[in-house]
Amino acid sequence: MLDPQQCRQARLARDARFDGRFFVAVTTTSIFCRPVCPAIPPQERHVRYFESAIAAARAGFRPCLRCRPDSAPDSPAWQGAQTTLTRAMRLIDEGALQRGSVVELCERLGIGERYLRQLFQRGFGVSPKAYALYRQCLFAKQLLHQTSLPVTDVAYASGFASLRRFNDAFKHQMALTPSDIRRSRGAGSQQARLTLKLAYRPPYRWERLRHFYARHLIEGLEWVEEHAFGRTLRWGTTTGHFTAIHDARHHRFEVTLELSDLGSLNAIVRQIRRLLDLDADTQTIESHLARCAPSLPLVAGLRLPGLWDVFEAGIRAILGQQVSIAAANRLIQQLVDRLGEPDEQDRRRFPTPATIAASDLAFLKLPASRRETLRCLARATLAGDIADKPSAWTRLKGIGPWTADVAAFRGNSHPDIWLGSDLGVRRALAQLESPLDPALASPWRSYLTLQLWNGIL
């Protein structure tokens, strides 16, 4: 927080460089503004300064209708186009431009091709394809450093159709050739196993994430050890499994993968990062939550406990409706044991939408309506219209807001899901010394839910 004299000078000058760094509240009007507000500046004796819009709101001030403090830099409204750019970057990192065209990407984003190019030009000074190519080369560089895969396989795993194209792009983007990085290594045969180091920004409360996974463990599908978590996976036509071992000393996970095909490796690694919530800036998140919920004792480094995909999260949420965690686990275990596809090590992958849609699910001791809801979600996923949009699932019979929110929370790792109807959350809220307004925690209400769960589960 700037000192009052700096704030005074910045607001009187309406210096845009300080927009979002502090907020100006006027005691005579009970309104708070951004320092760039075009209104006549109030006298200093009527002014209070706040570090955040939330702090000003909690002190009883209401937002100005002229400068809209909710639109200050880094607020959800201010991000606007940045939100679209962030989603485009995520889809490109998952391989959208390797499997399809820019036009198809724009259709998924709901924007025009020209606008997408403008977003990337303003954000990075490059086109979407140039951004995608650079990300491919960065991933290839990681594989060259951390694995002994042959260069041909590195090219394939990074999404390049030919070795020549890979060499040309890598040299242009990195100012190095693959052989410069691999000079001391021979080109052996493709490994059945490869290990990558995936870093995160501390703090990372591994023991709490491990506890959550252990409590919801499905045998054969997942495995949990003192310092490790692993599971089977399917990504398109690629199958396999991974084990992530936590290395607290170096702030990273060492992830060992065994895959049937390397063509989807980049997307699979991105999915593992999401599943373990490795990209969250927990210090920023918890600083925000501390202002929103001062009576809640926060635990540093809590991470969202992801599932492999949103379909699995939806099925598990449906089976968890109105039953205990133990009862839900038994039903999920029965589903995986009966319909899950076994691998060569007698582990099982989560059943596919096609498998669930084709089964009568009679082995599940559930009301017929609940079994039909499972099949309905499977059919909707196969149709593709609402496959990755849990918010749209509520149009399906048997899926309410709680189920859709849990699916988004765990299957998409959505950061802003408030599970206010959850029994554990309600119990935790009842134990707080003062009331809590979850709306103030946006855009990180999922982490507020985690913090409340932490004292109960």
26: left (phi over 0), alpha (psi -120 to 50) or beta: beta
Number of Cβ within a 10 Å radius of residue 383: 10
Q: In this predicted structure, what is the pLDDT of residue 266?
A: 87
Pairing mode, strands 222-225 and 23-26:
unpaired
CA distance 23 to 69: 8
pTM of the entire structure?
0.75
Determine which one of 7, 19, 33, 64 is catalytic: 33
**End-to-end C-alpha distance for the chain, whole angstroms:** 36
DSSP calls for 372-441: HHHHHHHHHHHH-SSTT-GGGGGGSTT--HHHHHHHHHHHS--TT---TT-HHHHHHHHTSSS---GGGG
Is 292 marked active-site?
no
Q: In this predicted structure, what is the pLDDT of residue 71?
A: 63
Task: Write out the chain's pLDDT in tens, 457 residues.
Answer: 568 888 888 888 787 767 888 899 999 999 999 998 888 999 999 999 998 887 788 788 988 888 878 666 655 555 555 668 878 888 888 788 887 889 999 988 888 999 999 888 877 777 898 888 888 888 888 888 878 888 898 888 888 888 999 999 888 887 778 888 776 544 443 444 788 999 998 999 999 999 999 999 999 999 999 999 999 999 988 999 999 999 999 999 999 999 988 888 888 999 999 999 998 889 888 988 998 888 899 999 999 999 999 999 999 999 999 899 999 999 999 999 999 999 888 899 999 999 999 999 999 999 999 999 999 999 999 987 776 789 899 999 999 999 999 999 999 999 999 999 888 899 999 888 888 889 888 888 999 999 999 877 6
DSSP calls for 110-148: TS-HHHHHHHHHHHHSS-HHHHHHHHHHHHHHHHHHH--
Q: Does domain 4-71 have CATH number 3.40.10.10?
A: yes
**Which architecture does CATH list for 194-279?**
2-Layer Sandwich (3.30)
Is 416 marked active-site?
no
**Number of Cα atoms under 13 Å in the Cβ half of residue 337:** 10
Q: In this predicted structure, what is the pLDDT of residue 80?
A: 57
* Domain ranges (residues) in the chain: 4-71, 77-182, 194-279, 282-301+414-457
277: left (phi over 0), alpha (psi -120 to 50) or beta: left
Number of Cβ within a 10 Å radius of residue 165: 12
CA distance 405 to 391: 7
H or E element: which one contains 222?
strand 222-225
Q: Scanning the structure block, which residue is given the tokens 């003062």?
A: 434
CA distance 4 to 132: 45
Q: In this predicted structure, what is the pLDDT of residue 347?
A: 94
Residue 23's DSSP bridge partners are 50
φ, ψ dihedrals at 153, nearest 5°: -75, -35
Tokens, residue 375: 């099949």
Contact 413, 444 (CB under 8 A): no
Contact 15, 37 (CB under 8 A): no
Q: In this predicted structure, what is the pLDDT of residue 234?
A: 94
Q: In this predicted structure, what is the pLDDT of residue 335?
A: 97
Determine which one of 19, 93, 405, 422 is catalytic: 422
Q: In this predicted structure, what is the pLDDT of residue 74?
A: 57
Q: In this predicted structure, what is the pLDDT of residue 189?
A: 38
Q: In this predicted structure, what is the pLDDT of residue 1?
A: 56
Q: Does domain 77-182 have CATH number 1.10.10.60?
A: yes
